[in-house]
A and B are shown apart, each in its own frame.
Chain A
Amino acid sequence: MNGARHLYVHLPFCSSRCGYCDFVTVVGRNGEHGGYVDALLRELDLERPLLAAELESVYLGGGTPTLTEPRALEQLLGSLPAAHELTVEANPETVTPQVAALLVGCGVGRVSLGAQTFSARLLRTLGRVAQPDDVRSAVYRLRDAGIDNISLDLIYGIPGQEPADLARDLAEALALEPEHISAYELEAKAGTRFTHAHGSELERQAESMESYFERVVETLSAAGYRWYETANFCRAGDPDLRAHHNLGYWLGRDYLGLGVGAVSTIENRRWRNAPSLARYVAALARGERPPRELEELPAEVRATERVMLGLRLDEPLLLTGLEQALDADEVEQLASLGLAERTEGSLALTRRGRFLGGGVTARLLV
């Protein structure tokens, strides 16, 4: 093993918490940003031997990385190893001309912007701080600063979202000509405040929202975007505008994650740093690794995951080493149902198969 070529760095700070979010986030604590970045860099030092000499991608996720105190953010970006793709997540309202300039100055080439929706009403439902205009001005500011690879995050299936709302969101997003779009169905997890507040409405809408996924794929495909992953689209053609960091996950590659709550997968082990900010910072201040939850990943589990992840992509999954993870009878049956396509040495889902990817994958696996 030559080391992980994908590095994830978690910046948990947010100005407020969105009801549907399930990432490790911390609201307020503006004074702790510097200390946290110090801890991150200490963890990087401890784990550096796990990284390859040359990195394909570095990804700063959150939280709201662009909310991080500018000097601390600058210090962090300046200290991270170089990579072919350096992405930073941003919330629209945080993208000031200064932040945009800072990012470009630090070598950030790609920004993933959490737009979610262009409807003020639905933004409120989601508990987002940004207004629709914030999204647009963030894009313009990033463009002005020289960012030429922008991804917009969209959420559909929001309580109260009518088909016309969805069509408008897609049109607004396309009007901004982003290189990349991620579109997720809202996941209302049982037991969250959000589900408590909106669950019954979502249930009522479930039937009419059945078609939203299809509408998203159809609209974006028609606009010249490539549906290269279940929930991800990029402008087709050259250069390859897919999210290379995330492709690392989908191709089953090793990755190192730094920061509170971050997950790493290296060879046959996966670990998750404990979600407590205080304990994370304290441990690294002592020069120790933060508390972690460790999961062993036997070869067959990694094979299962490679099938599960690989079938999310539009390119056929190469089956070398994965045959034993697949149920041959089911593969045949699903092929006869027009949901999967088996070729010599590879497996792909058909277009319809991709819409049903979860159920299809569950059946394909042993």
Chain B
Amino acid sequence: MDQQHIRNFSIIAHIDHGKSTLADRILQLTETVSVREMRDQLLDSMDLERERGITIKAQAVRVAWKGYELNLIDTPGHVDFTYEVSRSLQACEGALLVVDAAQGIEAQTLANAYLAIENNLEIVPVVNKIDLQQADPDGAAAEVADLIGDSPERVLRISAKTGQGVADVLDAIIERVHAPTGDPDAPPRALIFDSSYDQYRGVVAFVRVVDGVFRPRTELRAMALGTRFEAQEIGFMSPGNRPVKELSAGEVGYVITGLKDVSELRVGDTLTAEKNPAAAPLPGYKDVKPMVFAGLFPTESDDYPELRDALEKLKLNDAALFYEPETSQALGFGFRCGFLGLLHMEIVRERLEREFDLDLLVTAPNVAYRVKPMNGEWVEVHTPADLPDAFDEVEEPYIKASIIVPKEFVGAVMELNNDRRGRFDHLEYLSELRVHLTYELPLAEIVLDYYDQLKSRTRGYASFDYDVSGFQPGNLARVDILVGGEPVDALSLIIHRDFAYERGKLLVEKLREEIPRQMFDVAIQAAIGARIIARETVKARRKDVLAKCYGGDISRKRKLLEKQKKGKKRMKNVGGVEVPQEAFLAVLNLNEPAKR
């Protein structure tokens, strides 16, 4: 297809504003799938997946409309994947910005719209769900138009649910989004905007060809990482795999690489041909680094191999997931895992628990810190226990937070942000009723219960998004929790000094409630270095006997004893103190991040 007849676009929207419904409707309208197939797909996706060899979670679908080839490129829906979103957007020339007619602009709408603008995309504004009774299409259209600097009349008004206006959307894509402008005769270059792993065929790269032509059975190279492989198959999805003889400049499709490790192929990297290589890669490749870390431990230590296998499998489809073995004297063998953000962490945890049926203990999440030890070089620290007792400087990651909220809650949001060491940046009225606030906040303040707090203080009305903005110095300290004089590695935390006492006290009190009385007094302490900042004592037991024991009781008493013995084996020994795993769990739950 010549480039003049190709249009590449994404759909960007806040969660639940109708992105997938619109995508489904486009597939139907263009007869890419029939109504019947659509239903089949919903009902029987696992079978389909097996049948087609590659995941049907179509990262990019080609549809035909009025003689044009339209490529719909999917974007990951969340803030943790900002970089991935930006790569998907870079693969397009245009984007549909979908806004719920009843809800108006939300924080994610903003973040994605800005990303699209940064990537020089033509934005086609769409107000969806106009069939809803509480819809205010004019209000929503005014907000969107204002946001992107367009006129409200150019905002399309549709209902993806009923199909009303969807054809106009496709027409608008052809009219308003410009055609790709790559050089079809130049050495080939393609942007990898997503990848997945197929257990039979290895890593599959989803690409946007920028220049030149790609053909199967040719040697290709990923320019940033230097990975070489032979393209085993090249094609596009519609929505199943359609192998082709070539993909040329402007087109979108997949490359089956045969590679066995997703980390060999990174999103954002540029593919070129080994024989006729491009001089320079496409701009914008970034090595995405995990920012949030947590220890994952199996509740039953016997499950360690299962956890390792499960992480290996997840990693195949998730190059951003980082993990390495970690041994905690309190929690046993597990892994320190790095995530792009909180949602990413939740997703990984949920998949491990649901898909792999694992019972997990997750330590309080912490962010990555940069620390300069006394007379040493800067290092990055991923676990609180690794923060040296003495250091010159420590830095923590900051975010730019974007919060949209009805104006009556502005005070509540400001108060929350002040409590969380936030620095006010900007306030803007989106309409008479709604306000857009931006703040600079330490990421560490977000990973605890920020989102829950935000929701509860704004009665659920606030929407929130963030972007990591860099490292800044912080007045931070490591608080250790000591049981019987010994630090419990899994419970150490890095915290701003102003909050250390309060937090330490809370943890120590909780732990005292949870640790059963022992044969001796047990001191539970919170300490910064050698300085004890909080202390509680679990008083020793004064009696622990099985009262009566005669001929008829012996078997029962022995079983009781065996049970007691087994119970103790499940306990972790810290400083000679038997601590039930539930105690750690209870303390870690105090630090449970908000579920989204």
- The interface of chain A, by Cβ under 8 A from chain B, is 8, 23, 184-187, 210-214, 230-231, 246, 249-250, 255, 257, 261-265, 270, 272, 295, 301, 304-305, 308-309, 312, 333, 337, 339, 354-363, 365
Pairwise interchain contact A249-B549, C-beta atoms closer than 8 A: yes
Query: For A211, A213, A362, which residue has the most chain B Cβ atoms within 10 angstroms?
Result: A362
- Give the distance to chain B from A354, nearest Cβ to Cβ, in Å: 8
In the complex, are the beta carbons of A337 and B520 less than 8 A apart?
A: yes
Neighbour of B545 across the interface among A211, A230, A249, A337, CB < 8 A: A230
Q: How large is the interface on B (under 10, 10 to 19, 20 to 34, 35 or more residues)?
A: 20 to 34
Contacts of B546 in A (CB 8 A): 230, 357-358
**Shortest CB–CB separation between residue B553 and chain A, in angstroms?**
8
A230 touches B549 (CB 8 A): yes
Q: What are 6 A-B pairs at a CB distance below 8 A?
A: A8-B551, A213-B543, A230-B549, A257-B551, A356-B543, A362-B568
Chain A residue numbers with a CB within 8 Å of B544 are: 355-360
CB contacts (< 8 Å) of B561 on chain A: these are 304, 308, 358, 361-362, 365
Main secondary structure of the interface of B (DSSP, over half): loop
Closest CB-CB distance, A173 to chain B, in whole Å? Answer: 17
Compute how far the CA of A249 lies from the CA of B555 in the bound complex, rounded to whole angstroms.
12
Q: What is B's interface to A at a CB cutoff of 8 Å?
A: 519-520, 541-552, 554-555, 557-558, 561, 564-565, 568, 576
Known: A231-B549, A358-B561. 20 other contacts (CB 8 A): A212-B543, A213-B543, A214-B543, A230-B549, A249-B551, A257-B551, A262-B552, A263-B551, A263-B552, A265-B551, A308-B557, A308-B558, A308-B561, A355-B542, A356-B541, A356-B543, A359-B564, A360-B519, A361-B561, A362-B568
State A231–B568 Cα separation when bound (angstroms): 25
Q: Which residue of B lies closest to A24 (CB)?
A: B552
Are A249 and B554 in contact, with the CB atoms below 8 A? yes
Chain A residue, CB-CB nearest to B567: A362
CB-nearest residue of chain B relative to A352? B519
Q: Which of A257, A355, A359 contacts B552 (CB 8 A)?
A: A257
Tell me the minimal C-beta distance from B560 to chain A in angstroms.
8
Contact (A363, B568) CB under 8 Å given A8-B551, A309-B549, A356-B541: yes
Contact B548 A187 (CB under 8 A): yes
> How far does the Cβ of A58 sit from chain B's closest Cβ, in whole Å?
13
Contacts of B557 in A (CB 8 A): 308
Tell me, in angstroms, the Cα distance from A299 to B519 when the chains sit together: 30
A243 nearest in chain B by CB position: B550
**Do the beta carbons of B552 and A261 come within 8 Å of each other?**
yes
Contact in complex: A270, B558 (CB < 8 Å): no
B446 to chain A, nearest CB (A): 42
Q: How far is the CA of A210 from the CA of B520 in the complex (A)?
A: 14
Smallest Cβ distance from A132 to chain B, in angstroms?
23
With A211-B542, A305-B554, A309-B554 in contact, do A356 and B519 touch (Cβ < 8 Å)? yes
A71 to chain B, nearest CB (A): 27
Query: Roughly how many angstroms separate A272 CA and B551 CA in the complex, as a whole number?
Result: 10
Contacts of B555 in A (CB 8 A): 263, 270, 295
Query: Which of A214, A249, A337, A357 touches B542 (beta carbons < 8 Å)?
Result: A214
CB within 8 Å for A185 and B519 given contacts A213-B542, A257-B552: no
Contact B547 A246 (CB under 8 A): no
Inter-chain contacts of B565 with A (CB < 8 A): 362-363, 365
Complex CA gap A361/B549 in Å reads 14
A345 CB to closest chain B CB (Å) equals 23
Contact B551 A355 (CB under 8 A): no
Residue of B nearest to A153 (CB): B548
Closest to B550 in A: A249
Q: Check B551 against A255 for contact (C-beta < 8 Å).
A: yes
Chain B residue with Cβ nearest A253: B551
With contacts A262-B552, A272-B552, A359-B519 taken as known, whether A185 is within 8 angstroms of B547 at the C-beta atoms is: yes
Residues of A within 8 A of B551 (CB): 8, 249, 255, 257, 263-265
- Partner of B547 from the list A184, A261, A265, A333 (CB cut-off 8 Å) is A184
Task: Report A68 CB to chain B, min CB distance, Å.
Answer: 19
Question: 7 smallest A-B Cβ distances: which pairs?
Answer: A362-B564, A213-B543, A359-B544, A184-B547, A263-B552, A356-B544, A358-B544
Taking CB as reference atom, which chain A residue is nearest B546? A358
- On whether the beta carbons of B543 and A355 are closer than 8 Å, the reply is yes
Bound-state CA distance A341–B542 (Å) is 19
Tell me if A312 and B549 are in contact (CB < 8 A).
Answer: yes
**Which residues from chain A contact B547 at a C-beta distance below 8 Å?**
184-187, 230-231
B519: A residues at CB distance < 8 A = 337, 339, 356, 359-360
Known: A304-B558, A308-B558. A210 touches B542 (CB 8 A): yes
Chain B residue at minimum C-beta to C-beta distance from A301 = B558
Shortest CB distance A108–B (Å): 19
- In the assembled complex, the Cα of A36 lies from the Cα of B301 at a distance in Å of 54
Contacts of A230 in B (CB 8 A): 545-547, 549
Complex Cα distance, B561 from A365, in Å, reads: 9
**How far is B552's CA from A100's CA once the two chains are assembled, in angstroms?**
27
Question: Roughly how many angstroms separate A365 CA and B554 CA in the complex, as a whole number?
Answer: 16
Closest A residue to B548 by beta carbon equals A184
Task: Please name all residues of chain B whose beta carbon is closer than 8 Å to the beta carbon of A308 when the two chains form the complex.
Answer: 557-558, 561
Contacts of A305 in B (CB 8 A): 554, 558
Which residues of chain A come closer than 8 Å to B550, judged between CB atoms? Answer: 246, 249
B558 → chain A closest CB, angstroms: 6
Contact B541 A359 (CB under 8 A): yes
- Write out the residue numbers on chain A whose beta carbons fall within 8 Å of the beta carbon of B549: 230-231, 249-250, 309, 312
A312 proximity list for chain B (CB < 8 A)? 549
Q: Determine the chain A residues whose CB is within 8 A of the CB of B576 once the complex forms.
A: 333
The distance from the CB of B88 to the nearest CB of chain A, in whole angstroms, is: 58
* Contact residues in B for A360 (Cβ distance below 8 Å): 519, 544
Nearest to A256 among chain B residues (CB) is B551
How long is the Cα–Cα vector from A359 to B520 in the complex, in angstroms? 12
